[in-house]
Structure 1
Amino acid sequence: MEKETMLEVNDLHVYYDNIHALKGISLKVKKGEVVSLIGANGAGKTTTLQTISGLIPSKMGKIIFEGEYITKTPCHLICKKGIAQVPEGRRIFARLLVKDNLKLGAFTVNDTPENLEKDRAKFYEVFPRMAERKNQMAGTLSGGEQQMLAMGRALMSRPKLLILDEPSMGLSPLFVKEIFSVIKRLKESGVTILLVEQNAKMALSVADYAYVIETGRITMEGKAKDLLNNPDIKKAYLGA
């Protein structure tokens, strides 16, 4: 049985003044899958994610989430509809405690404090290190710990679609391994993920489907395992 499409992007065009950044991007994310978007720096990956999240307006094209057009929807309403993005560079609230960063992540969730505390407890189970640091200023955490916190903050909003932008950037190999271990666990628990990641090999190893973007256009797509073994992909992105 074919999985239901959760997110569909059709012929998306985005400009920065006179610069044509996205030139007809089209992609789909099916419910329960991890879809990866790979490409070189400046190819348009982050612009694609930010346009989906409502942070950047599109000139043309359609964005459909769970059958609803959200192309012109403000970003705060997109978040309420169930799309949460973990931005490149993490952007945690450095002067707030870890536990307060998580509390802000649940701002759009209409539920009892008791149930929200259960959500936070689940996060601490996934990231035990954060439980030890819950009363610590977020800005004093290491880069890897801040990435964990940024992911937890997004998960506190109970997203239907989790968007991850370069989750391993600037992290040590040990933290990269830990972050991708969490992504795999989220996938196994049924979380739908759209992933942009500079480490193409890691991204393709965890994804179900993948798209290759070059200078604002999708140039290749397919099952992630097929792209992982594609000679052109190996040469361009996997260092083979």
Structure 2
Amino acid sequence: MLNVKDLNVFYGNIHALKGVSFEVKEGEIVCLIGANGAGKTSTLQSISALIPKKSGVLRFLDKDITKAKAHEITKMGIAQVPEGRRVFTDLSVLDNLKLGAFAVKNPRESDEDILKVIYERFPILEERKNQRAGTLSGGEQQMLAMGRAMMTRPKLILLDEPSMGLSPLFVEKIFDVIKNFKEIGVTVLLVEQNANLALKISDRAYVLETGKIVKSGSAKKLLSDPIVKAAYLGA
């Protein structure tokens, strides 16, 4: 579904991503793990065309998207849930969700159809649809950010640190939804600081260090890798 080849990104003179290459297959959950500053968020933002690429090739559903703009990426079927959620705090929950569908109207599927799917997964959003988003808890705002991404009818969702700042109860709820994304035909590329939890729900994983991928393999294999365990799993 997604193929990233020799991706290089610079911030001024800082070489943030150094020839990053990986792939995501349809129906998978693939995670990127690594320390802060390893390049995980930069990778997602490069795919979404939110930051410029120095070089590299990106292909999505066998189409070259290397030079595509951010709004074009969204229309193609890639949605990003950003780190820190970034909901529109002064708007209602429902208006936040509707904004997700603004650029990708599909005459064959109404907003109500996809809202029904979202409300089934996040009942609290239906309960609070007329409430200002800024009054929601952090966990509820994360649900809202994920619901807003689902409104774009994505084929691939990029999730950036979905557990950040959440209580254990909300983390469990959020990861239950991520595990079930494939039920509605959505593939997931996950960036997550909680490497142990990310690996447990993923099919495959890549380890980023200082802008380079240094390990890859099945998530199960990396969970038992002594180097990964020592560096990221608290062993």
Whether 1:10 and 2:5 are equivalent positions in the alignment is: yes
Please state how far the C-alpha of 1:26 moved relative to its aligned partner.
0.2
Q: 1:189 to 1:119 in 2, by over 3 A?
A: closer
Task: For residue 200 of structure 2, give the secondary structure of its aligned residue in structure 1.
Answer: helix
Please state how far the C-alpha of 1:189 moved relative to its aligned partner.
3.5
Q: 1:79 to 1:169 in 2, by over 3 A?
A: same
Whether 1:59 and 2:54 are equivalent positions in the alignment is: yes
Task: For residue 12 of structure 1, give the secondary structure of its aligned residue in structure 2.
Answer: strand
Please state how far the C-alpha of 1:187 moved relative to its aligned partner.
2.8
After superposition, the C-alpha distances for 1:136-177 in whole angstroms (9 at most, x for unaligned) are 000110000000000000001000110000000000011001
Q: Which residue of 1 aligns with 2:38?
A: 43
| Aligned pairs (5 A) from 1:121-160 | 121-160=116-155
Unaligned runs of 5+ in 1: 1-5
| Aligned pairs (5 A) from 1:107-186 | 107-112=102-107, 115-186=110-181
| Aligned pairs (5 A) from 1:211-222 | 211-222=206-217
Contact 1:34 1:208 in 2 (8 A): yes
Task: For residue 182 of structure 2, give the secondary structure of its aligned residue in structure 1.
Answer: helix
Identity, in percent, stands at 66
Q: 1:174 to 1:224 in 2, by over 3 A?
A: same
Quick one: which amino acid aligns to residue 19 of structure 1? I
Whether 1:198 and 2:193 are equivalent positions in the alignment is: yes
Unaligned runs of 5+ in 2: none
For residue 76 of structure 1, the aligned residue among 59, 71, 80 is: 71
Q: How many pairs does the alignment contain?
A: 235
Contact 2:204 2:219 in 1 (8 A): yes
After superposition, the C-alpha distances for 1:168-194 in whole angstroms (9 at most, x for unaligned) are 000001100110011111134431000
| Runs of 4+ deviating beyond 4 Å | none
Between the aligned partners of 1:112 and 1:205, the Cα distance in structure 2 is: 38
What's the TM-score once normalised by structure 1's chain length? 0.96
